Structure 1
């Protein structure tokens, strides 16, 4: 059991590092290429459509093929995709390509990344659901959340170190990580038999209970992606930083968030008394506090404090909506619902960059106001449905058919 949990943790951790290593350098890279904030939003959002579409597909394939093969396919695809993305970035910085062609190629490369990334977290989450019961589900999902948090810490930290050599160096490292992970997973992760022999009923995202947890996941991921996308622009403009100072500042801020997530989810793994709804509501309150600090702080200390509080809130909400969604369906549908959760992350990556960068050009504070409004609506919706959702929570299989 320990080996399985460590394997799941490792898979999600490496996938998150591969994603997060680019976050601190994307804004300065976009400006070095002579592109605008809107171009950045288009590259991230339109490229993420593939992630939203493919996440449920990978989840269902892991039910049929087994979790390990799908994780391996995901890492191999990520390696090829990141190589392509890095080559295009290098060509753009070297003035070999520019303008519309550069934007189109970056979008296409980002789409390839989005095509393969959800294979890893969706299969890993389904694997965790396979090896935990209802009572231990929140703690199991907290382990996945901790892997996300550690990746959130080390990804920007690695970027902050290698950006001192050059802006492209974090991309070189990011391209190497999936290949290393492929080899390690191939050797160390135990094979897992397919869960099903016949095609299971499709997961209905609008089923009672499940839709509320997916909404909570959407609000959580919209908050995280928005901070990643416009954070660099916002802090550079607020504090008049250079591009390299911005990359280091955002890296450190994301490290604070990651540390907070790890601490929060480590405590959650030891204390399984909190139910998914309680985790989500407590996390939502902290996210609202962090948004208020981002809006009114005018110093590095204030922003770093907001990053830390944001990490605690996200650290509560992530295992909350993952566990709640998992408990809302039957055992043979765990791959499907895990893919649905990953799809929510992809949808967030589509919506948040375009929305946040568009709002940013109107007023730099508006993205944080929008995030606060979405989280508030989600919290009120979940709180108002408390009795109805809570009544169905203990019996997860009946919950799905409602």
Structure 2
């Protein structure tokens, strides 16, 4: 499949761009005299856009073609990010009223989320179009590894460039999707002529997509839970100071980022393994890893537990994407990918809310709860496998 290399490049560029903002969002909020909850609203809006627009973009790509929608969404992503960078550049020099800063940041971040929400489902649908069913897991894993690489590179780029000013990382982040536009324009094949097919919209709760949607939600919920609660957990469990906690948190997140990438590379190489088998195996690893967090006593054990859980996540993500593609017809690939992607957006919103509530009760509870959800996913996967709903 010759499109996989351009898609990998597009994914790395766009994810790096999206994640670069995280490195400077705190300083920007403080510089503009905003409050922490303002940043929370901005992140939540991206998740809301993901939920409600992934299906929309996926369906439009079924109608108007993958490449056309991908070009539109990436270019819109670039313009939105550029507007954000221009405003921040102005605002840090001449700070406007707090309400104006808040409104402009909300609008620009929402626009970024609107256009970015098209990129993952359309890329996945394009793989489903081009790859044979037996090789989809492998290609999805390759795309997942590039996604993980972007998640690592983005904050590094943002943090490194922040020394030159808070707006510089945003300008750099805006340029990255412009390169992605170039790749999509010149290295993706022209869309085939769209055949007129009777419009029978795929239902949001279509039974064919229930397993991948459950897996999608649980996976993103667990990832967000880890990101939100890890720092607090290290503070409370090991009684470290803020500086030491930041170092340990960064150390662990970097390690599990590498583990996530390596796992998906391994999955991409083992093309003979069926996606449902990867799903059950991944659910097992993730359940063990997250449940172990509740009984760890050292920082090394905590790192090992997260690595075990992350190995499972690296197996699950390409598996449920391949299952999605294998479960629907050719003319449904876009909306199916968008539907499953919207479940990830729901995980982004529910994760911070539920995990912080559970943490306030007991620091172990968010991770134990995540472990239990993976046990449920394992059981559901076995049921699907036994009834041969999905092969």
For residue 24 of structure 1, report the CA deviation from its aligned partner.
4.9
1:142–1:266 CA contact under 8 A, matched in 2: yes
Are 2:354 and 1:355 equivalent residues in the alignment? yes
Q: Which residue of 2 aligns with 1:240?
A: 241
Q: Does 1:393 find its partner at 2:390?
A: yes
Match of 2:323 in 1: 324
- Provide closer, same or farther for how the CA distance between residues 253 and 297 of structure 1 changes in structure 2, counting only shifts above 3 A: same
Change (3 A) 1:164 1:228: farther
Structure 2 vs 1, CA of residues 393 and 292 (structure 1 numbering), >3 Å: closer, same or farther?
A: closer
Q: Secondary structure at the match of 1:392?
A: coil
CA distance, structure 2, for counterparts of residue 95 and residue 223 of structure 1: 40
Can you list the C-alpha shifts for 1:255-302, whole angstroms capped at 9, x where unaligned?
322322222222222212322222122222222333345555566544
**Shift of the alpha carbon at 1:120?**
1.4
| Bigger mean CA deviation after superposition, 41-50 or 24-33 | 24-33
Residues 51 and 111 in structure 1, CA contact (< 8 A), matched pair in contact too: no
User: In the TM superposition, what are the counterparts of 1:26-175 in structure 2 within 5 Å?
Assistant: 26=25, 38-86=37-85, 96-97=95-96, 102-163=101-162, 169-175=168-174
Corresponding residue number in structure 2 for 1:398? none
1:19 aligns with 2:18: yes
1:232-381 aligned within 5 A? 234-235=233-234, 239-242=240-243, 246=246, 250-295=249-294, 297=296, 301-360=300-359, 364-381=363-380
Unaligned runs of 5+ in 2: none
User: Quick one: distance in 2 between partners of 1:239 and 1:194?
Assistant: 60
Q: Residue in 2 aligned with 1:221?
A: 220
Paired with 1:145 and 1:5, the residues of 2 have a C-alpha distance of: 12
TM-score (ref. length: structure 2): 0.85
Asked if structure 1 preserves the Cα contact closer than 8 Å seen for 2:209 and 2:340, the reply is no
Question: Aligned to 1:96, what secondary structure does the other structure show?
Answer: coil
User: What SS class does the counterpart of residue 135 from structure 1 fall into?
Assistant: helix
Deviation at 1:393, TM superposition (A): 2.5
State the distance in 1 between where 2:369 and 2:34 align.
25
Task: Check conservation: 2:208, 2:328, Cα contact below 8 A.
Answer: no
Contact 1:7 1:185 in 2 (8 A): yes
The residue number in structure 1 matching 2:191 is 192
Q: TM-score, normalised by structure 1?
A: 0.83
Q: Is the 8 A contact 2:287 2:375 kept in 1?
A: yes
* Matched residue SS, 2:280: helix
Deviation at 1:9, TM superposition (A): 1.7
CA 1:147–1:295 in structure 2 vs 1: closer, same or farther (change >3 Å)? same
Q: Measure the CA separation in 1 of the matches of 2:228 and 2:84.
A: 18
2: CA distance, partners of 1:25 / 1:54: 26
Change (3 A) 1:310 1:385: same
> What is the CA RMSD across the aligned residues, in angstroms?
3.2
CA distance in 2, matches of 1:31, 1:360: 26
What secondary structure, in the 3-state scheme, does the structure 1 residue paired with 2:21 have?
A: coil
User: What is the distance in 2 between the residues matched to 1:28 and 1:295?
Assistant: 33
Aligned-partner SS, 1:221: helix
- Taking structure 1 as reference, are residues 284 and 180 closer, same or farther at Cα in structure 2, changes over 3 Å only? same
Q: Residue 375 and residue 167 in structure 1: after superposition, are their counterparts in 2 closer, same or farther (change >3 A)?
A: farther
Q: Deviations over 1:123-167 (max 9, x none)?
A: 111110111112112112222212212222322333443355566
Q: Partners in 2 of 1:223 and 1:120 — Cα distance?
A: 22
